[in-house]
Chain A
């Protein structure tokens, strides 16, 4: 290690001001501080600083995503096997799932990373670690059949329009990973919605088991006939609550296993990186709205009205969005009071879209993006209230 460190010390002057590769300093800095912690010291008080930095913080989020990644990978393989009627073991399923999603993750990281570095080099600032999270988040909310060129186009849109045009990590209004997904969702709806994209199979070539539909539980619930109980429809399609909780259902790569997501949530909450306020508020909002819709269920109302809250939680992207997307500190509300309003409204809107909007079975992505747009406004009112409180002392 000492030799490596010496090598970096030796080449450092070439990248510093006046050096031959001055332009590429951000790349050098990134590699250097990736390998060895920064030697920077404080200039004035506070003379000592906490060990937590942006690298550690972002890496914690990536670690929290690992359970969802692992279970999701296995599930991608499992769903393909089930559709084809193949008996496959744990490792076989994991491996085939891994081969399916590895290219997606690689493309997301490489293309997104390219933009990140390009902007850092042109703007002459250090490369932001936020992309470590965006790259994997985006991959995990995609269906396993997504064409790779769409992954590239999507992450480009997410990073450039969702983040860099505002000034980079910390300045963005929208969550970049969700911006990327929303772009794909509206630009290429055929590849990211419907019932034929959620399982890694080729509908034209593969021989599928009889009666295989490929529909996700949420789609089944959404299509339940008026007056029909959505839970019955979901059960009839062969999905039990347990199965959905463990994540052994068709769906986006990392979104299916609520259990794995909850492990991730525990990591975020124990380390203190994720906001418990946002998570709890979103849960309250979602459960409250689902309960209201249950109450509103009548003879002629759409079947999904009757879907209970704990089913909403384990279906679609609700849990994933709640834990990993709504909690993005940059695009969420920045005040503690604001976080409650922000979270509750995400939960309410997500269930509202799911139940009353027949066009979109899933509402989580749009609910979060919508509240991302509103969070500066929420913060504005919280800040005004703080100022008024102070004035009222006089």
Chain B
């Protein structure tokens, strides 16, 4: 195993980690599939409220690529199709009947998997709705079935604030993970890479995995981001198509081919300082489970909170009646900020955590802090330079990249590496920015421009 040391980056000292214990959650009465989880997806509905569905019934398809199906993770009835701004579909909600009836798929032995045709693998993945687990670079969209990727990157680590321990998610998944790898091998002529946390002992699934090239990553966030792995293992070149997916998703794919059923179980870590400590743990629940089934109201310590599917850096803000996202193994609950502080700009700041050393909190590097959603400042033009590079472990000039996007100069932004990256790689730039500039939105806008240009 090759180990890569990542120097640039920053671990936010956030309070609210989940205890490493897995408990059974209350069965989710409602589950949902949410089109905004899939980048730039324009969904076409194939069900209506009131329709009966089983696990694996198609709920909507991708308008541009109707082969890509998005399926129900529960059996029951379609309860609602909730729309947001400009009537965009935000969620398709299913009332679970508690029977978990499933569509069935072909079952293969290990030997059969090894000799499967690519067409059969693609077909089974598309029909089961597991295909969107495979995402492509550039653009991090669900992969295009017509492409053959140069390589496939399996991400077996997560370094985001309060992120779940991937080893815990992979417990008991040894065979499924290996089967998943074997399936993925049918999809590429290139290599399959597995990135793991170099600081932790490997879980059995990773230790025993065959047919993958293992790479360990050590260092602060974003050492666990796919872009960091690609950049250090086999950098993206113009014209490349790379696929990536998370290690638990590989195990899901493995189980589909071994068991013939869609695995809809999902372990979700409930994190964040707003949840009382004893309830912060890992819950075994269902894909797309409702927040209400995971966090009871009485266990929330703060009056006004924000629910985030995923982590505080890149997660999606949810309504209290919302659902955990397709790619997320984490739910974060933090307090909404309201309080205003008198002459805050001159306060010594013993309790104000900062990437800079402009507060006395810098003297206590071990402390963890409860953080709210306050921005702590108004929007300004770019002023500070040289800081953003400290949190981006790629050969990228973050400020110049964003400026080229503001100028809508597509050639320049591609030249500066816009296709090598994902908005998540710039979350820490937005976090540390004293001008409070939203890097992620700019990167997203720029990539959308590039994508439209083809």
Contact of B317 among A47, A389, A394 (CB under 8 A): A47
- Determine which residue in B346, B349, B397 has the highest number of CB atoms from chain A within 10 A of its CB, and name it: B397
Residues of B with C-beta under 8 A to A126: 378-380
Smallest Cβ-Cβ distance to B343: which chain A residue: A35
Structural contact, B380 and A169, CB atoms closer than 8 A: yes
Structural contact, A48 and B373, CB atoms closer than 8 A: yes
Residues of B with C-beta under 8 A to A41: 336-337, 372-375
Structural contact, B383 and A57, CB atoms closer than 8 A: yes
Flag whether A227 is at the interface (Cβ < 8 A).
no
Structural contact, B312 and A47, CB atoms closer than 8 A: yes
A41-B373, A52-B434, A393-B237 known; A46+B355 contact, CB < 8 A: no
Contact of B382 among A60, A170, A336, A386 (CB under 8 A): A170
Flag whether A223 is at the interface (Cβ < 8 A).
no
Residues of B with C-beta under 8 A to A336: 386, 389
Structural contact, A271 and B345, CB atoms closer than 8 A: no
Binds B, one of A241-249, A291-299, A327-335: A327-335
Structural contact, B344 and A386, CB atoms closer than 8 A: no
Structural contact, A390 and B395, CB atoms closer than 8 A: yes
Residues of A with C-beta under 8 A to B379: 126
- Determine which residue in A35, A50, A171 has the highest number of CB atoms from chain B within 10 A of its CB, and name it: A50
Residues of B with C-beta under 8 A to A275: 385-386
Is the contact region of chain A dominated by helix, strand, or loop, or is it mixed? loop
Flag whether A67 is at the interface (Cβ < 8 A).
no
Structural contact, A56 and B317, CB atoms closer than 8 A: no
Closest Cβ of chain A: how far from B96's Cβ, in Å? 29
Q: 1/0 contact trace for A146-164 toward B, CB 8 Å?
A: 0000000000000000000
Structural contact, A334 and B385, CB atoms closer than 8 A: yes
Flag whether A238 is at the interface (Cβ < 8 A).
no
Flag whether B315 is at the interface (Cβ < 8 A).
yes
A51-B352, A390-B415, A393-B237 known; A330+B383 contact, CB < 8 A: yes
Structural contact, A50 and B354, CB atoms closer than 8 A: yes
A378 to B352, CA, bound (A): 36
Interface residues of B in 387-435 (CB under 8 A from A): 387, 389, 395-397, 399-400, 412, 415-417, 420, 427-428, 430-435
Structural contact, B239 and A394, CB atoms closer than 8 A: yes
Residues of B with C-beta under 8 A to A335: 385, 397, 400
A36-B344, A53-B376 known; A393+B235 contact, CB < 8 A: yes
Smallest Cβ-Cβ distance to A44: which chain B residue: B317
A277 to B389, CA, bound (A): 14
Binds A, one of B117-125, B201-209, B259-267, B356-364: B356-364
Residues of B with C-beta under 8 A to A46: 312-314, 427-428, 430-431, 440
Query: Nearest 10 CB-CB pairs, A to B?
Result: A53-B377, A170-B381, A37-B344, A387-B415, A36-B340, A55-B345, A51-B352, A41-B373, A48-B371, A334-B385
Which A residues have a C-beta under 8 Å from some C-beta of B? 1, 5, 29, 33-57, 59-60, 126, 128-130, 167-171, 270-273, 275, 277, 329-330, 332-336, 339, 379, 382-383, 386-387, 389-391, 393-394
